[in-house]
Structures are given as structure tokens and as C-alpha cells.
């Protein structure tokens, strides 16, 4: 899996670098208008675009067909894409923490609970969206997959709202905001894992052309 990950990192390295720099600059630039830690809600999703550049590149170069001649299982190939997505989401969060740290050192009030809240929201949105878009990347052609990728983030916000409303039936959300979004994050992790299992089955039954 390490070799496949390195291949994807090489393909998407320029996109990853541009995204990281953009998140840092955006965090510093918007700090005068918005709470700097709010960038953590957007960063994981923004960072994962490189995964779909990798999938599109694989399709156009017929890499999916070539890799079938290698001693690599289909489940491992899918596992790499999901691991790559997760790594990028975490890296996006790390990049967004840079301007937060700089601003905190300069005297701006940035609290740990705020960082944790926006961080859990961002990771939840990214994992829920990835759970939709990654299986579809192997069901549809690259053009349709890109549309699904964009729409998946809209869908993830609806899923988060539905989960919050569900939690509110058992726990007053207003009094336990951080705990609520930790529960949402746990649900997103489970969703992402189930999506991986579904994608392995989809890819396992596909004829690679």
C-alpha cells in the first residue's frame, strides 16, 4: 500500500501544496472578519480534492487495468484510496491549525473548545462526504464522479443536521454542543468504514477496462 500511496502523492503533490498554502493564507486573511478556528470546519473537505485528481488520473491512464497484473488485491487498492482521503483530511486540519497558532501567539483569543468543535464538524463533514463520493467514483465515469464529489458535501451538511436533531431527542444539544458533535464524528467514522466495505464489493465485481 505504501507504494500506491506514494504514487498518488506524486500525482497530486501540486494540488496538495496549493491547498495547504491557500488554507494558511485564508485563515490569516479572514481572521479579521471571522473566528479563525472556523476554518477548521472547511479545511478537511478542501484538502480531499486531491483524491479525486488521483482517481481521474488512474482512469485516464488505464492504471486500474495495469495494477491488476501486480500482486495487489482489489481491497488493498480501495483501502489505499480511503487511507489517502483520511490522510489528506487530517493534513487539511493541520494546515488550518497553523494560522490559528500564529494568531493565538499574536494575542488573538482562540480557545481549545472552539478548535475542537470546528475540528469535529470539519472531519465529520469530510468523512460523511467521502462515504458518498468514494463509492460513486467507482460506479460512474470521472465527469459524473466530480459532480457527485461536489454534491456530496452538500449532502453531508444535511446528514450532520439530521444527526444533530436525532441526538437532540436524547440529549439537549444546546447544553452539550461539543459532546453532540463528537457523537456525530463517531457516526461519520462508522459511515466511512461501511462505505469502504461497500466500495470493495463494488470494485471487486467490476470488469476493469
This prediction has a pTM of 0.84
Q: Is residue 23 pLDDT above 90, yes or no?
A: no
Positive or negative: CA dihedral 35, 20, 48, 147: positive
State how far the Cα of 149 lies from the Cα of 130, in Å rounded to an integer: 8
The pLDDT of residue 43 is 86
Over residues 151-197, the pLDDT tens digits come to 898 899 999 999 999 999 998 998 899 999 999 999 999 999 999 99
Give the structural domain span for 51: 2-205
The pLDDT of residue 10 is 67
Over residues 134-157, the pLDDT tens digits come to 888 877 777 777 788 888 988 999
Q: How far is CA 141 from the centre of its chain?
A: 21
CA dist list (Å): 153 to 32, 97, 122, 129, 142: 26, 21, 11, 5, 17
Report the number of distinct structural domains present in the chain: 1
Amino acid at each position: 500500500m505504501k507504494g500506491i500511496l506514494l504514487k498518488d502523492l506524486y500525482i497530486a503533490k501540486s494540488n496538495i501544496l496549493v491547498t495547504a498554502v491557500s488554507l494558511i493564507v485564508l485563515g490569516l486573511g479572514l481572521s479579521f472578519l471571522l473566528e479563525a478556528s472556523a476554518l477548521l470546519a472547511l479545511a478537511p473537505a478542501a484538502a480531499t480534492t486531491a483524491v479525486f485528481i488521483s482517481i481521474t488520473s488512474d482512469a485516464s491512464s488505464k492504471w486500474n487495468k495495469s495494477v491488476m497484473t501486480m500482486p495487489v488485491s482489489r481491497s488493498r487498492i480501495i483501502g489505499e484510496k480511503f487511507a489517502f482521503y483520511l490522510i489528506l483530511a487530517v493534513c487539511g486540519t493541520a494546515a488550518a491549525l497553523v494560522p490559528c497558532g500564529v494568531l493565538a501567539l499574536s494575542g488573538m483569543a482562540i480557545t481549545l473548545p472552539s478548535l475542537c468543535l470546528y475540528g469535529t464538524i470539519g472531519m465529520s463533514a469530510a468523512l460523511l462526504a467521502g462515504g458518498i463520493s468514494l463509492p460513486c467514483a467507482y460506479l460512474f465515469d470521472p465527469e459524473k464522479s466530480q459532480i457527485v464529489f461536489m454534491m456530496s458535501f452538500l449532502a453531508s451538511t444535511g446528514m450532520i443536521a439530521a444527526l444533530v436533531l436525532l441526538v437532540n431527542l436524547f440529549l439537549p444539544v444546546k447544553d452539550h454542543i461539543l459532546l453532540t458533535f463528537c457523537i456525530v464524528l463517531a457516526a461519520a467514522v462508522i459511515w466511512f468504514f461501511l462505505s469502504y466495505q461497500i466500495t470493495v464489493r463494488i470494485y471487486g465485481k467490476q470488469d476493469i477496462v
